[in-house]
Amino acid sequence: MRLDRFVCKSTEFTRAEATQKINVGDVCVNGDTVTNEAVQVHESNTVMLDGLRLKAREFRYILMHKPANTICSNVDEFYPSVFNYLDIKNTSELHVVGRLDADTTGLILITDDGRWSFNITVPSKKCQKIYRVELSYEIADGVEAKFKNGLKLQGEEHLTQPASLKIIGSKEVLLTITEGKFHQIKRMMAAVGNRVVSLHREAIGGVSLDVGLGQWRYLTRDEIQSFSK
């Protein structure tokens, strides 16, 4: 990771403060003073600040039940950020893995481990995300097959990856997808002449939502590892 990020992850400095410390020559990497904040460092490097060895904090892996009318970015905009629910330090280091729309509820994963979140979001890993979808109209005949075969969404060059649709009511389905295009489910439903009334993510891979609205917990070691395969 970049040296300024490493300094932030091992102290309480902001990015600007860390950069300043580096630029004035207060930081050594493997015995040499480094003044360029963009230099890449590894956990195994010896990074010293004012004569003290820095150790980056452990990565964090969090599951949260996102309420409606919240956003998955780190700062409040028209709606408040989901990070307001996290009563922990240094939340600016964290990001939501695969954002949900403001009106979508359910399971979100939050981490500061970019490699781990890549495994969950990159379509080639085919990590399954299960959504409960309430619709305006009854499910038309043949929609399951259309989702299985892939749909051409407006403005997209490629078909959607195979998605599995389980009908649980005349206007309610469980939809499993393995990618996360912008407004994907709303656009998939529009492509078959329907409209999403409400959208709720129930599971990502083997991890299911098990906390109340606005609540969160750390993932277990097994849950973290299940996404690293």
Chain positions contacting ligand URA, by CB under 6 A = 100-101, 104, 183-186, 199
Distance, in Å, from the CA atom of 40 to the CA atom of 139, rounded to the nearest integer, reads 52
CB of residue 184 vs ligand URA: minimum separation in angstroms? 4
By beta-carbon proximity to ligand URA, the closer residue of 7 and 133 is 133
Catalytic residue among 76, 101, 103, 141: 101
Q: How far is the CB of 179 from ligand URA (least distance, A)?
A: 10
Q: Provide the minimum distance between the beta carbon of 203 and ligand URA in the complex, in angstroms, as a whole number.
A: 13
Q: Please, which residue, 26 or 101, has the CB nearer to ligand URA?
A: 101
Q: Which is nearer to ligand URA, 27 or 188 (CB)?
A: 188
Tell me phi and psi for residue 133, to 5 degrees: -120, 125
To the query of whether residue 101 is one of the catalytic residues in this protein, the response is yes
| Nearest CB to ligand URA, comparing residues 3 and 188 | 188
Q: How far is the CB of 219 from ligand URA (least distance, A)?
A: 20
Token pair in block for residue 37:
């904040």
Q: Would you name the residues annotated as active-site residues?
A: 101
